[in-house]
A and B are shown apart, each in its own frame.
Chain A
Amino acid sequence: MFIYGKVQLQFMKALKYLSVMLSIILCSLQTVWSGGDAVVEKTILPSLNKQRASNAFYNTIHFQKLSASRFLPLFNVTGIGSWASPRTVITLDGLPYNGYPFGMQSIDLVPVDLVTIDTLVAKTGVGVIQSGPVSGGTIDFVRSEIPDSFSIDTRLFTGSETGDPLIHIFSRPDERHINKNKVGPSFALSISNKNNNWAYRLSGGGFFYFTTGSVNDGIIGQYNRELLNRQNRQVKVIGEVRYIIDENRTIDFFAAGINLFGWEMSPFTSLFNHYTNISNTGRIRYTDTSSGFTIALVRDESFVWTKQITGSLPTSLRTTEWMLYPRNDISLNNAIDVTVSSYAGLINAIDRSDDNPRRQPVLLQNVSAIHWGFGIDFNYAANRLFSSAGIRIDSQYEYSPELSGELLLEYRTGSSSKLYTLFGTAAYFPDYPPPIILMNRASLKLAVIRIWIPNVCMK
C-alpha cells in the first residue's frame, strides 16, 4: 500500500512536470511562430501620415524584414520565412495578389495606396484561406468603401536625411561620400463619386526615393555607378467601379498597375540587380449577400527585366496568373455557418531571356501549371465559445494533391481576455516550381513543406 502510494506520488509528480513542460513548449511554439508576440490577428488602421503600407506596420506588429534596401521590405509576419521565399500570403480583399517581380513579395508592391485602404489585417498563424493553405500568415488589404458623394483625397510628402555630405562631396573628393538618403516629392491622389447605381474611384500615387543610405551602397556603386544615382520609383494607378444591381447584389471591377524602377537584391540569387517591373491586376467580383454567394475572376501579371550590371547579364521574366474563385457562405442556423470555397486557374511563367543570347536565363524551362483547390469550413459560435474547423485539398504545379486543415477553439474568459487553441497544418507551395536556375548557374530545389502548428495560449 505504501509502495503503491509512493509510485502514485511519483507518477503525479511526473505528470505535473510533464504538463508544465508541455505548456511551456506549446506557448513557446506560439511565441516563436508569431515573432515574439502572441498576436494571432491584428487590424491596422493606416493613417495618412504614413508614406506607404510598410510604414503602417512599423511599431505595430513584429515582423521579419528581409529587404536589402531601405525601401522595399519583404514581409514575414511569422518571423520564420527565408530570403528565397517569404511565406506570408498578401491578399487584396481576401484574394491573393501575385504580380510580384521574381516572386519578390512586398506589401509595398501591391497596386493599391493607403489613401483608399480602410484597414490592413495581419494574421500570424497557420491557416487555410480560399486560395489555399497558408503556412506563414496573411496580410489582407481591405479597401475602403467608395464614398456616396464626390470626394477627393490626397497627400504629399517628401523627406531628406540630415547630417549628410553636402558641399564636401566636391571640396573633399578623396573622402567617401555616399550617404545621401532621401525621399523625393511623392504623392497619392484619389477621386471618387457615385451616380445612381454606379460608383467609381480613380486613384494613383508615386513614391520616389534614392537607394543610397544603405550599407550596401558601396556594393551597388561597384555594379553600376550611374544607376546608383538614379531616382527610383514606385508609381501606381488604380481604377475601381462598382455596379449596384439591387440592395443585395453588386458587381465590382478593379484594375490596377504598378511600375517599379529601382535596386533590390533578388530573392533567390542574393545579388543586387536593378529592376524595371510593370505589374497589373484585373479583378471582377459578383457578390450576392442574400444567398452568400460570390465569384471572382482574377488576373495578375508581372513583367520584369533587370539591367546589365557588372558581372551579370540582363534578365527578363513574365508571369501571368488567371484564377476563378467561387465561394458560398451558408448559415445553417444562428450558431453554425458553413463556407464552401474553391479556386481553379492557370499559372504561366515565361523566361523572356530565351530569345536573346545576351540575356541570362532565369528558368530552366517555362512554366505552365493548373492550380486548383477545394475547401470547407464549419464555424460554431455560442456565447463565449467560438470554434472553427476547416479542411481543404490543393494541387499546385506538379505536386500531388495536398491536404491541409485547421481547428480553432476559442473561449472568451472576459471582455479582453480569451483562451484559445489553434491546431493547423499547411502545405507550403513555392512561388515557382523547381528547378530554378540561378543567375550564377547554381540550382535551387524547392519542395512542399508541411508544417504543424499546435498552440495553446491565454491572451
Chain B
Amino acid sequence: MKHLFVILFSLLLSHCVYAGEIDWERASFGVTANYQIPIGDFGTYWSNSAAIGGLGRYEVMDRVYLMGTLTVSYYTPADNTDGKSIPHIWLINVSGSIHYEIPFSSRIKGLLGIGGDNFTFIFRGTPAERLGSNYIESEVAMHGEIGMSFQFGTIPRFDLYTRYSSIFSYPDQIPIWLSGIYVYLW
C-alpha cells in the first residue's frame, strides 16, 4: 500500500492537466443519489447514510467520459457505540473519474470507471466540541466503479452504479461502498 501512496502522490504532484476547447454538445449535467455503506470503524460506530448531489459529464472521445460529482450526506451515530462519544458527520464528497462504456445494445451499456475523491468530514455535536475550531478534515480517496446505463424513449438517460472508495486516513483506511443512480437531465 505504501507503493500505492507513492504512485498516487507522484500523480498529484505532477500536475497532470488536460486543456482544450469545450464542446458543449459533448457535455451533460444531472443529479445523483446513492446509498452509502461504510466499512470498518466508520460502519461500526455510524449508521449507513444516503447522499444526494449533482454531476457533470464530458465525452472526451468515443465511449470515454470524464465525470465529476458532488454529493452531501449526513451520518448519525450507530445504535450501539460501545459507550464511545461519537459525533454526527456531514460528509461532502467531490469526485472525479474517467468512465468507459461497453455497449450491450442501443439502449443498454455497461460502465467501468476509476477515479479520485476528496472526502470532507465536518464533525458536529457535543463530542466534536473537543476539536475546537479544527472540526473539518479533508482526505483523499480513490475509487473503482461498475454500472449499467439505460436509455428508454423520452426518459432521461440514467445509470445504476456501485462504487468502492477507500479513504486514505490514519491509522487505517476507511472503505465505503456506494450504490446509486446518475440521472442526466441536460
Contact = CB atoms under 8 A, between A and B. Distances in A.
Nearest to A226: B132
Interface stretch (B51-59, B95-103, B136-144): B136-144
Given A173-B84, A212-B134, A231-B134, A165 B42 contact: no
15 contacts: A160-B138, A162-B139, A164-B137, A165-B169, A165-B171, A166-B174, A168-B169, A168-B170, A170-B123, A171-B42, A171-B45, A212-B134, A226-B132, A229-B133, A231-B134
Interface of A: 160, 162-173, 175, 179-180, 182, 210, 212, 226, 228-231
Interface string B123-135: 1000100111110
A163 B168 contact: yes
Q: Which are the 3 A-B pairs with shortest beta-carbon distances?
A: A229-B132, A171-B41, A160-B138
A164 B170 contact: yes
Contact of A172 (B41, B131, B140, B167): B41
Nearest to B8: A162
Interface in B146-176: 167-172, 174
Given A160-B137, A160-B138, A212-B134, A167 B46 contact: yes
Contacts of A162: 139-140, 168
B44 interface: yes
Chain B interface, DSSP helix/strand/loop, else mixed? mixed
Given A171-B44, A172-B41, A182-B138, A166 B121 contact: yes
Contact of B127 (A170, A175, A182, A230): A170
B142 to A, nearest CB: 11
Which of A160, A171, A180 is packed against the most chain B CB atoms within 10 Å? A171
Contacts of B31: none
Contact of B174 (A160, A167, A169, A226): A167
Contact of A164 (B41, B86, B132, B169): B169
B86 A170 contact: yes
Contacts of A163: 5, 139, 168-170
Nearest to B138: A160
